[in-house]
Amino acid sequence: MRIATIEFQGRPRLARLAADGTTVDVFDVDGSRGALALIEAATSGLPMPGVKETLPLTDVRLLAPLPVPRRNLFCVGRNYHAHAKELRDSVFKDNTQTVDAWPIVFTKVPETVVGPGATVRLPGAAISSQIDYEAELTVVIGRGGRNITAANAMQHVYGYTIVNDVTARDVQMRHAQWDLGKSFDTFCPMGPWLVTADEMDGNNTRVRCWVNGELRQDARTTDLIFDIPTLIETCSRGITLLPGDIIATGSPAGVGMGLKPPRWLQHGDVVRIEIDGIGTLENTFLEETRP
């Protein structure tokens, strides 16, 4: 099932895409929390809400599938072998270690989330001139739990979506913690919808990212250093994961920072991310001070 939050007649609604992708069935529930309503129903053993109406996809605007995450997003840093190598060869030259024993985990605040097609605001050079993209397969937790083992972890995956973990590199590098450089307003495009776990294999799918039509990132999740079960095990150690929690699994090689010389996003740039089994997430980056 592909679950989308849509805007129709000025209001957010929760919907599922029809198999042919041309229409959406709108559920008879409050759409303001997006897919969270369905995830909570499913994990509480409640029945699926009924369908109120069917609309052509062309008549609605897609919002992020989880437009208001219940809390910070868990995000994993440096989690593809090739990406770890590109950073070792460029920014982390002193660090000869390619793979750490434990994953890097940081968070983005929930207010960063915007939908497919939404504008990402470049903050202007006084704040940051090093804005970068990161295409990421993102896990959405279904049944919650604490101290989940890797062996049981996939039973806790409700589904998958795409996130662009937009980053202000200069701000990220300035602080020991990455949260500030990762949490600017609009810095988490998410979508285009959530695909339930029964419909795809997140542990083996292809992640690609284009900037203005130029392919920059292309990898399979089989190249993850810490795979999805390991990430769930790690994030739930001593912390109760909740239904609807979000874990962005890290970005492949080919980010702007890893290029020689680095290439930062500019006013008017379009970043398109495609993950096999999910779809396409595209956003335009605009400087907020420009008209």
C-alpha to C-alpha distance for 242 and 240, rounded to whole angstroms: 6
- Verify binding: residue 132, Mg ion, rule CB under 5 A: no
C-alpha to C-alpha distance for 261 and 191, rounded to whole angstroms: 30
Token pair for 202: 């997140």
**Chosen residue from 130, 196, 251, 283 binding Mg ion by CB under 5 A:** 251
Q: Give me the least distance between CB of 278 and Mg ion, in Å please.
A: 17
Q: Give me the least distance between CB of 163 and Mg ion, in Å please.
A: 8
Q: Give me the least distance between CB of 111 and Mg ion, in Å please.
A: 17
Residue 14 vs 257, nearer CB to Mg ion:
257
Give the binding range for Mg ion (CB under 5 A) out of 36-44, 54-62, 103-111, 165-173.
165-173
**Of all residues in this chain, which one has the CB nearest to Mg ion in the complex?**
165
Residue 23 vs 107, nearer CB to Mg ion:
107
Q: Give me the least distance between CB of 14 and Mg ion, in Å please.
A: 27
| Backbone torsions φ then ψ of 210, nearest 5 degrees | -115, 145
Residue 53 burial (CB count, 10 A): 12
Q: Give me the least distance between CB of 76 and Mg ion, in Å please.
A: 7
Site track 206-245 with Mg ion (rule: CB under 5 A), x = hit: ----------------------------------------
Residue 134 vs 233, nearer CB to Mg ion:
134
Kindly report the length of the chain. Answer: 291
C-alpha to C-alpha distance for 177 and 264, rounded to whole angstroms: 21
Q: Give me the least distance between CB of 1 and Mg ion, in Å please.
A: 27
Q: Give me the least distance between CB of 247 and Mg ion, in Å please.
A: 11
- Verify binding: residue 134, Mg ion, rule CB under 5 A: yes
Residue 234 vs 251, nearer CB to Mg ion:
251
Size of site (CB under 5 A) for Mg ion: 3
Residue 33 vs 88, nearer CB to Mg ion:
88
* Residue ranges with strand state E in the chain: 2-8, 11-17, 23-27, 51-56, 61-63, 73-77, 104-108, 113-114, 119-122, 131-132, 135-141, 157-164, 167-168, 188-196, 206-211, 214-220, 246-248, 270-275, 279-287
C-alpha to C-alpha distance for 49 and 61, rounded to whole angstroms: 21
H or E segment to which residue 72 belongs: none
Residue 112 vs 196, nearer CB to Mg ion:
112
Q: Give me the least distance between CB of 241 and Mg ion, in Å please.
A: 19
Residue 5 vs 79, nearer CB to Mg ion:
79
**Chosen residue from 86, 132, 165, 269 binding Mg ion by CB under 5 A:** 165
Buried b (16+ CB within 10 A) or exposed e, 214-250: eebbbbebeebbbbbbbbbbbbbeeeebbbbbbbbbb
Token pair for 3: 């679950």
User: Residues 62 to 101: which contact Mg ion by CB under 5 A?
Assistant: none
Residues binding Mg ion (CB under 5 A): 134, 165, 251
